Amino acid sequence: MWRLVVLSLLLPLTAWAQPPRVQEPEQSRPWAVYFSSEGGAAQAVVEALGRAKQSVRVQAVALNAPEIMQALVDAHRRGVGVEVILNGDRSSGPGSAATLAQAGIRTLRDAAHSATATNAMVIDHQVVITGSFSLAPPAEGSLLVIHDPTLAGRYSDNWQLHAAHSERYSTQPGR
């Protein structure tokens, strides 16, 4: 009996002495969170985009982080339906809208809303990526990846609402 008491007292202490565990892949859990101070957020976005099979919808204030832009273009080239709404009148910085549109990605500008909107992605009607994480360099902030079709549906509905009053970006002058 005394061994059981000692063991129950020492067991919680052994957790402190163990080396930290390697983080399990985010797709094996219903959610994952990343903080810029710990790193991994940009890589989590790139990996999630790499797993996309059907659709990616993005709504962002700024979108010009090179690795994320490339992952969107790569998804589009794999046949994934990629659509992007850029919020605010500054719409993401130099070249990003043009780069996406030239790659054949449907790119919209939502000038009706300020640049304070949250960045969000919906992947395959199942996964929501959101938070204060910036999709533009320096990519910092917190990132939340949620695997929930119901929540993804809500974000998709909101995306559609904004797409309805947005204008398509054109690479042609005067359009």
Structure-model confidence comparison of residues 42 and 160, the more confident one: 160
Q: Does pTM top 0.95 for this prediction? A: no
Task: Walk me through the domains of the chain, giving residue ranges and CATH numbers.
Answer: 37-168 (3.30.870.10)
70 Cβ contact partners less than 8 Å away, ≥ 6 residues apart: none
Q: Give the closest residue to 59 by CA, choosing from 169, 165, 162, 171.
A: 162
Q: pLDDT value at position 162?
A: 93
Copy the structure tokens of residue 96. Answer: 């990003």
Please state, in angstroms and rounded to a whole number, the distance separating the CA atoms of residues 79 and 158.
Answer: 24
The pLDDT tens digits of the residues spanning 126-157 come to 999 998 888 877 767 889 999 999 999 999 99
Tens-place pLDDT, residues 78-114: 999 999 999 865 544 556 888 999 999 999 998 887 6
| Both tokens assigned to 33 | 């969170």
Give CA–CA dist 35/131, Å, rounded: 10
